[in-house]
Amino acid sequence: MIDFIEICSKCGGQCCKDANPPLSRRRLAILLENGIDIEKIAFEKYMHPKSKEDGFCIFFDNGKCSIHTIKPETCVAGPFTFDLKGDMLEIYLKLEKICPLVAYLKKDKKAYREQFRVAVENIVQLIMDLDERSLREILKIEEPDTVKVAEITLKLKE
Ligand code: SF4
């Protein structure tokens, strides 16, 4: 079994730097219910955890995520990420050169399939929860060093 925490801590949690993972109102409520101080949240073009002076997420502590069990959807989805074109959800995978986890996933098909499933589930949930303006801002963010691995048609609005 792949030890995500072990691999991620070896890389120094680079994906937690300049990450600004989006927070929906639902996720914010979960964080607050779990005692997270609202002062740690930035309300900018979209809601996300604040960053420390070194650029790392405010929840990155001692080489790992301090809110692992309740972390935002895009953090759970990594190293998969997404774009949305109309109702077409595009799933991207980070390149191995920026995420060592990718090499492990490529070697272990079962683990890849499971992480892909978890990623899609979390990304779809996030898209459903976000307000349109936040989603629009998030979709403007470029994600270099990724490759498209899937396209899924969503039925977002009936
Ligand atoms: S919430 Fe946790 S996993 Fe997500 S960017 Fe912050 S420290 Fe990293």
Q: Which residue reads 């390149």 in tokens?
A: 95
Atom of ligand 1 nearest to the CA of 74: 4
Does pLDDT of 157 surpass 80?
Answer: no
2-16, 17-31, 116-130, 131-145: least confident range: 2-16
Distance from the CA of 16 to the center of ligand 1, in angstroms? 5
The pLDDT confidence band at residue 142, using thresholds 50, 70 and 90, is very high
| CA-wise closest residue to 22 among 107, 122, 130, 94 | 130
Query: Residue 78's closest CA among 156, 145, 140, 139?
Result: 145
Q: What is the pTM of this model?
A: 0.94
> Mind listing the pLDDT tens digit for each residue in 1-41?
777 777 887 788 899 999 999 999 999 999 999 999 999 99
- The 10 Å CB-count burial string (b at 16+, else e) for 6-31 is ebbeeeebebbeebbbbbbeebbebb
pLDDT in tens, 64-102: 899 999 999 999 999 999 999 999 999 999 999 999 999
Q: Which among 68, 87, 58, 49 is positioned nearest to 8, based on CA atoms?
A: 68
**Which token pair is 118?**
């978890």
Report the pocket of ligand 1 as residue ranges, CB < 6 Å.
16, 19, 21, 49, 57, 59-60, 65, 67, 71-72, 75
Residue 79: Cβ within 10 Å count: 22
Q: What is the mean pLDDT of residues 135-152?
A: 96
